[in-house]
Amino acid sequence: MATVERTRAVSEDTVDLIVNGETHTVRVEPQWTLQYVLSEKLGLTGTKEFCGEGACGACTVIMDGRPVLSCMMLAVECGGRPIETVEGIARSNHPLIDAYIKHSCMQCGFCTPGFVVTAKALLDRNPDPTVDDIKEAMVGNLCRCGTYPAHIKAIQEAAAVLRGGGSRG
Amino acid sequence: MDDTQRQRMLESFDNKRADKYPLEEFQSIGKRGVRRTDGYEKATGAAKYTVDVNLPGMLFGRFLTSPYPHAEIVSMDTSEAEKYPGVRAVLRYDDPELPEGASLGGHELNNVAPLSRVAHWHGEELGAFVCADSEEIAEQALKLIRVEWAQRPFNLDILKARETGAPLTNPEDNPAGNLDAGGLYVEGHGDVEKGFAEADKIIEFSYSMGQNTWIGPERPCGVWRWNGEFAEVWVKQQRPHICKRAISMWFDGLTMNKIDLHCLYQGASFGGWSQMAWNLGGTYCAAVVSRRTGRPVKWLFSRREDFYGGEMDAGTFYFKVGAKLDGTITAVEQRGVVANQSMLVFGIAKHLMDNMKIPHVRGITEGVWVNKGPNVPTRCEQNLNSYAVNLVTNQVAEALGLDPVEVALKNDGAEGHDIEWLNERKAELGFPTRDSLRECVEKGKAAIGWDEKRHAAGAKRLPNGRMHGLAFTWTHEWDDSAGTSEVAMYVERNDGTVTILGCRADGGQNAETSYAQVAADELGVPVEQVRFKHQEDAGFYTMTPDTSTNLSVNAWAVRHSARLLKQKLLEAAVAPRGVTQLASFPPAFPGKRADELDIKDGVIFEKADPSNRMTVADFVGPSGAQGPLMSPIGEPILAGKEGLDYPIRFTPPMFEDAYQIQRGTYLGVRLRFCRQAHFMEVEVDPETGEVDITKIVTVNDVGKVINWDGCEGQAYGGAIMGAGRGHTEEVVHDPRTGIMLNGNLLNYKIPTLMDVGDIETIMVETGMGYGPYGSIGIGEDVATVVPALLAPAIHNALGVWIEGFPATPDRVLKALGRA
């Protein structure tokens, strides 16, 4: 039988989370994940928890320019590091959003923000990805509804728009 | 509405016949590029799900779960948990306020303990519900609960569980034995012995199915808040209508009009968990704690807890098939033993009768209870029927050296009759007499390259050393069209946009866009101007994706409502615009009759003189005070009484409601006319047993496409889900301890983007569906029919039949005699 101290000994830390260009000074407990703080404390509920153990990509955010799984990051590790969430990508009117709507990349939609963030990170580092590049980048994002084929089309289209080869219409 | 129009409305309810009054011209229906109404919310993360609800002062509740597969609580000490900082309440199974049973939602009303004392499977929620300031604190506090358990014997094996004298797996519900009390399902027609005697060849085979499950991306959860004596409830449920009905029976009768229900976006459950009898157990407990603490309560399952339960196809199955040498099937006898079907046991030979001309069919399904979670329809209960059609068709073809496509075409029909008989019925009921299966297979064969690539079993080794396999299966489309749908629809003042009201769960099929298309085209307004507000309880409940039904019921209700609303608009346009103490105001179209007007692109116009026109927005006018001096917008309309010339609007509310009630398309109610055909190409490594699915072609006769994105999304999404279920997905239990071993997404393998090759989705539109415009839904179908394709595909590659699903490498090697 597990035993736990009757009084929870919790030390709180303060971190400056730089999310979508804004700094949030947040008091966090050491075991809190970045995903938990983003969704529960900052109200950025687009960063979803699906598997909760780094197996599905639904909680992906971009940190220091790379896609990371926010359910596998402790919030206390993330102070001072630029974090981009799906809300920030949407606010910047990134062409991925229109492309995702046009190609109907969502069904239940719960995993969709994680795909958008992973795709944004791909396009940031590779403006002209091949289909294989896209598959390799997106293979860590799980979708139970099986929307995968639509994402490839949408990412290719958004890439073309970013390169100036297409319209956002 | 005159008598003729009323008669036409009534005839629309005759859902045994073809749509007698389709539109002459479609604007958005069937057009590509209609922007989905939920797209922006879901792409940007703005879409809210029940798990996202976070209310001021909200508590978080989690359940104790059983560490054993079969055990009862003898005593329980919750004192340490209650003292744990941040814990606000611990609700116990022996709490005097908890009833022995309450109706806890699911597919139907029922009577289930909200918090049980006895567990019948490992991980079952029972005993205690801990509510705390955070989920994490609740989880920690659960570890402080000391339970004295009495372990009971358990059984995970359905064949052992059905043996006489086997230890009882659930003495509470099944005291007499482990056979399901309502669980013997016998079906059929003809005389199978006679059919076997007529056969040239008898083929016998068997297979088993492991347990697969739904995997809802959003964990099961719910929120309860008391607003004084009113209950505000957020449900992650596919059937908000059943939820509210169940909730209204709690606490000595909450009245329906004191319950405010929210049904936000759903992180998918595919039927699944949403069907279970106890799925509102958390909501019941949350309601009790919320009242005691005066705080809102959100309850949640953990990710692992979402794995307890599965699709109702787990079991073992035996077939005996008789066939003539030309492939004509004379008889099929099928016996099955299935596990833990927590709804009524469903027949497994239905499709052999529904859409084949086999004269002699007999199916017997036995339901047995073992100590695993409940199994329920999970996209969907027709899985075993799809396996039956697949395996019977392909085994007969292989045994007789025939092309399975030809075997399918030769045996296509209905209820023991041939296709000619079925065509006569189509004509009688007003449908086109198209050969749906032939159209489907011709398109599918061309897409997969059937004639070019087809080869004898085990005959084609690829340059990479793997064996190439090609397979085909088929069955009918089974949108069951059962249920009740109510919607309301009104024209908003100020801008003439249209709102549809009707609470339903969004499962992501793009259904709301489809309904907006139906409403728009019927009303004559642009589709972008229609919004379906489906998340709020407005007193109207539509069918959700449940009872195998969605559009084929709801779209009728939407269409009825839109037609009534259009008629109301046209009649109001030619009538005096209301009578007040001042005057009667002149019609918008004086001297005209309603039938002389029409509406298109949001404009009411005279058919003979389209320049005589007024927008719907102008016609319905502004909201709020519409009397003199208060109405600054719109053109003035003179009051018609001398001396009064201020602007005034006066149109009644443009609101209508409608409903649709249908019986399901089960045997004897309605015949199945539309077919589906699917093809799979694989590469199999005979050394490792690894199967690589390189291509899937899906062909669905959808009758009429309403929304292309919706149809194609269900087809390719279903193909991927189906491939996973047939290939890699299985919930595994430790036989020694009864503990589930892979209740997580690392070890339960759903397909990734790289696990299924190219998918081509083809739609056939024969107009032979029972829905509006001849449509029929396909949402369940592809995910259910595709899994069994692994068997004939592997057989074509290796020349051996796997005897169990999913087709994991060990099963493939076993078929090769190497494991």
Tell me, yes or no, if A111 comes closer than 8 A to chain B by beta carbon. Answer: yes
Tell me, yes or no, if B754 comes closer than 8 A to chain A by beta carbon. Answer: yes
Q: Among B39, B42, B753, whose Cβ lies nearest the Cβ of A138? A: B753
B611 compared with A11, residue with greater pLDDT: B611
Task: Give how far Cα B673 sits from Cα of B308, B355, B766, B767, Å.
Answer: 37, 8, 9, 10
Residues from chain A contacting residue B783 (CB–CB below 8 Å):
146
At B643 the pLDDT is 43
How many whole angstroms separate alpha carbon B686 and alpha carbon B691? Answer: 9
At B277 the pLDDT is 80
Instruction: Give which of B268, B293, B277 is closest to B214, Cα–Cα.
Output: B268
What is the CA angle B204-B205-B210, rounded to 5?
Answer: 160
Shortest CA gap B239–chain A (Å):
16
Chain-centroid distance, C-alpha B117? 32
> What's the token pair of residue B274?
């949403």
Question: With contact defined as beta carbons under 8 Å apart, do B156 and B164 qualify?
Answer: no
The pLDDT of A133-158, averaged and rounded, is: 98
How many whole angstroms separate alpha carbon B807 and alpha carbon B796? Answer: 14
> What is the interface pTM, i.e. ipTM, of the complex?
0.95
B window 154-193, beta carbon within 8 A of A: none
Question: With contact defined as beta carbons under 8 Å apart, do A168 and A98 qualify?
Answer: yes
A window 11-40, beta carbon within 8 A of B: 31, 39-40
Which residues are within 8 A (CB) of B455 and not within 5 positions of it... i.e. 6 or more apart? B468, B470, B796
How many whole angstroms separate alpha carbon A127 and alpha carbon A165? Answer: 12
Residue of B nearest to A113 (CA): B45
B window 558-577, beta carbon within 8 A of A: none
Residue of A nearest to B37 (CA): A101
At B646 the pLDDT is 46
End-to-end Cα separation, chain B, in angstroms? 72
At B106 the pLDDT is 80
Residue B504 pairs with which residues in a beta bridge?
A: none
CATH number of B310-479+665-815: 3.30.365.10
Name the stretches of chain B with pLDDT < 50. Answer: 627-647
How many whole angstroms separate alpha carbon B779 and alpha carbon B270? Answer: 10
At B226 the pLDDT is 98
Domain B3-30+481-662 in CATH 3.30.365.10? The answer is yes
Chain-centroid distance, C-alpha A2? 35
Task: Give how far Cα B806 sits from Cα of B207, B732, B800, B809, Å.
Answer: 11, 12, 15, 9
B window 700-719, beta carbon within 8 A of A: 709, 713, 716-719
Q: For residue A62, with 0-12 CB atoms within 10 Å meaning exposed, 13-18 middle and 19 or more buried, which class applies?
A: buried
Residues from chain A contacting residue B144 (CB–CB below 8 Å):
2-4
Tell me the pLDDT tens digit for each residue of A31-73. 999 999 999 999 999 999 999 999 999 999 999 999 999 999 9
Tell me, yes or no, if A148 comes closer than 8 A to chain B by beta carbon. Answer: yes
Residues from chain A contacting residue B86 (CB–CB below 8 Å):
8
How many whole angstroms separate alpha carbon B815 and alpha carbon B819? Answer: 8
Residues from chain B contacting residue A92 (CB–CB below 8 Å):
none
> Do B3-30+481-662 and B310-479+665-815 come out as alike in CATH topology?
yes
Residues constituting chain B: 819
Q: Where do the structural domains in chain B lie, given as residue ranges?
A: 3-30+481-662, 50-152+220-301, 310-479+665-815
Rounded (10°) angle between helices A148-162 and B708-727: 120
Tell me the pLDDT tens digit for each residue of B206-222. 999 999 999 999 999 99
- B546 φ/ψ angles, rounded to the nearest 5 degrees: -150, 165
DSSP category for residue B529 = G
Instruction: Give which of A77, A103, A106 is closest to A86, Cα–Cα.
Output: A106
Tell which CATH architecture fits domain B50-152+220-301.
Alpha-Beta Complex (3.90)
At B550 the pLDDT is 86
Q: With an 8 Å Cβ cutoff, are A50 and B217 in contact?
A: yes
Residues from chain B contacting residue A138 (CB–CB below 8 Å):
753
Query: Any idea which residue has 């004295």 for tokens?
Result: B148
Residue A68 Rama label (left phi>0; alpha psi -120 to 50; beta): beta
Tell me, yes or no, if B752 comes closer than 8 A to chain A by beta carbon. Answer: yes
Q: For residue B624, with 0-12 CB atoms within 10 Å meaning exposed, 13-18 middle and 19 or more buried, which class applies?
A: exposed
At B578 the pLDDT is 61
For B348, other C-beta atoms within 10 Å of its C-beta total 26
Q: Which domains does chain A have, with CATH numbers?
A: 13-87 (3.10.20.30), 89-162 (1.10.150.120)
Question: Could you tell me the pTM of the whole model?
Answer: 0.95
Query: Any idea which residue has 């030619």 for tokens?
Result: B574
DSSP category for residue B461 = B
3-state secondary structure B259-298: EEEECCECCCCCEHHHHCCCCCHHHHHHHHHHHHHCCCEE
